[in-house]
Structure 1
Amino acid sequence: MTEAPNADPQELAKFSQLAHRWWDPDSEFKPLHQINPLRLEWIDRHARLQGKRVLDVGCGGGILADSMARKGAQVLGIDLATKALRVAQLHAMEAQTPGIEYREVAVETLAAEQPESFDVVTCMEMLEHVPDPSSVVRAAATLAKPGGWVFFSTINRNPKAFLFAIVGAEYVLKLLPRGTHEYAKFIRPSELARWCREAGLDLADTRGMEYNPLTQRYWLSGDTSVNYLLACRKP
């Protein structure tokens, strides 16, 4: 396939190297396994996934995509990290997950092919890994049907987020491999909200995600100072 402009080869390589560990709940992807029930319930509460056509952008090894399919959605997961996609496909075959398929394609390319085709579009933990996140937001908005839902999650950009998401998560607690995140690529909620409005989306809900290292518990809250989720609707 032709190389998509809105992808960082180093980021793709980083996640491809870890691909075989994606479904190990005690691996580098343990935080994704731990937060997935929270994300899934929040998305389902807004969008009612049963019977919906769903696109998961930057699906990686398929943790969220697989769980949305098990909620009764017809899910397409897309990513540009080839090895991670192969892992997702293999897991879907082994687990016999119904209603799921995967494709190696850029979201901008798919938006040109299939505008207004999906009831729900999710893009979780990806925007902070691409050169032009606003392009992903525009493509996601294009792919959603009128009245459809678009969900994002990413990391705020401020000193607290640097301390918690990089120093704490990567160096002190070792929840993530060092170098997983780059502070300059973090996104303030005001920036993401502006990109959504510019793409024609209406902001419906914003939630923060917090973590207690002593209890190893995650929960959703009103504190968006570090990790946060944003729900939008297409008019």
Structure 2
Amino acid sequence: MPQTLEKHARHHNPNPANNSTVDPTEVSHFNALASSWWDPHGPSRLLHLMNPLRHNFITQCRSTDPSTPASSSPSHKLRYLDIGCGGGIFAESAARLPNTLSVTAIDPTPEVLKIAEGHKRRDPVLSAPGRLTYLNTPIEKLPLPASPADAYDIVSCFEVLEHVHAPGPFLEHIMPHVKPGGCGGRVGDGAEGDA
């Protein structure tokens, strides 16, 4: 059963070390794959195939979690943070959902984000101000929300944890970005899903 990141809250250190969890070797690897990111038959093929399952995972997480706030009604617009967004496969699809207010998608890989920005420009809905924002930054440098209410309803971190060299501190940096009662999800490297 999907769970929220809140189960890890007891391990959260509000002042983790400022050292980056980004692995420079992984950044180089993904920069090299940038031009093929949106090829559904290329090296990122599995990401394209898994994308609908990711949305199902989030929907299930939100519908089965008793701590999901009443503001999760169909009329409530959700704010997403997609960590390690790569070329934007999940971020774009989340930004197109009718119950999405905005998606902030971050990645430390500049060449991949250039591809994501270029692909975004093809769709006027995604190009609307504030709908989908790409930032070339690791989670450690993303400004913290001013208050818990300003955090994100959905924080996704799909296929990322296996690419960072310090998973514990990486997850600690994510926690302040999840709104109380929000949903945080991670799937990667053989994991069926956990939050």
- Give TM-score scaled by structure 2 length: 0.75
Q: What SS is found at the alignment partner of 1:61?
A: coil
The match for 2:134 among 95, 98, 102 is: 102
Within 5 A, what are the aligned runs for 1:24-173?
24-47=39-62, 51-72=77-98, 73=100, 74-98=102-126, 99-110=131-142, 112=144, 116=148, 117-155=151-189
Q: Is the 8 A contact 2:20 2:140 kept in 1?
A: no
Counterparts in 2 of 1:115 and 1:82: CA distance versus 1, 3 Å: farther
Runs of 4+ aligned residues of structure 1 deviating over 2 Å after TM superposition are: 44-50, 95-98, 111-116
Q: Is the 8 A contact 1:122 1:151 kept in 2?
A: yes
Q: Distance in 2 between matches of 1:4 and 1:63?
A: 28
Counterparts in 2 of 1:123 and 1:86: CA distance versus 1, 3 Å: same
Using the TM superposition, give the Cα deviation of residue 119 of structure 1 relative to its aligned residue in structure 2, in angstroms.
1.0
Q: Distance in 2 between matches of 1:227 and 1:147?
A: 23
Counterparts in 2 of 1:54 and 1:144: CA distance versus 1, 3 Å: same
Identity of aligned residues (%): 33
Match of 2:12 in 1: none
Q: Distance in 1 between matches of 2:159 and 2:79?
A: 21
2:162 corresponds to 1:228: no
Match of 1:11 in 2: 26
Q: What SS is found at the alignment partner of 2:173?
A: helix
Q: Distance in 2 between matches of 1:22 and 1:134?
A: 28
Using the TM superposition, give the Cα deviation of residue 5 of structure 1 relative to its aligned residue in structure 2, in angstroms.
2.1
The one-letter amino acid of 1:33's match is H
Q: Is the 8 A contact 2:95 2:103 kept in 1?
A: yes
Q: Is the 8 A contact 1:7 1:130 kept in 2?
A: yes
Cα offsets for 1:54-77 (capped at 9, x unmatched)? 100000000011111111321000
Q: Is the 8 A contact 1:115 1:144 kept in 2?
A: no
Q: Distance in 2 between matches of 1:8 and 1:140?
A: 17
Counterparts in 2 of 1:60 and 1:115: CA distance versus 1, 3 Å: farther
State the superposition RMSD in angstroms.
2.1
Cα offsets for 1:189-218 (capped at 9, x unmatched)? xxxxxxxxxxxxxxxxxxxxxxxxxxxxxx
Q: Distance in 2 between matches of 1:31 and 1:71?
A: 21
**Structure 1 spans left out of the alignment, 5+ residues:** 156-225
